[in-house]
Amino acid sequence: MDGDKTLSTIVVADGKEGPLTRAAGTGKYEGMETTRTVEQLGPFKPIKDGTSHGCNRQTGTYKMK
């Protein structure tokens, strides 16, 4: 609600997820450190040709700057 943002990336190759990497943050999220585990709960049938649809559960810890 305060406008601060965080951005993470997950790379998926050959149907397997790689690590979740925290790429950037603004405001209170700047400099935040995270450790995460991502459990893939999909993939699911695509909604439209050329797209993918999935779900994952993320657990872990974070430490604010």
pLDDT tens per residue across span 23-46:
889 999 998 888 887 787 877 888
Residue with tokens 């950037």: 24
List the structure tokens of 11.
Answer: 């790379």
Domain ranges of the chain: 6-63
d(CA 43, CA 40): 8
Instruction: Please give the single-letter amino acid code of residue 59.
Output: T
Q: What is the pTM of this model?
A: 0.54
- Spacing of C-alpha 32 from chain mean position: 15
CA 47 to chain centre: 21
How far apart, in whole angstroms, are the C-alpha atoms of residue 46 and residue 20? Answer: 22
**Residue 27: left if φ>0, alpha if ψ -120 to 50, beta else—which one?**
left
Of 52 and 51, the one with more pLDDT: 51
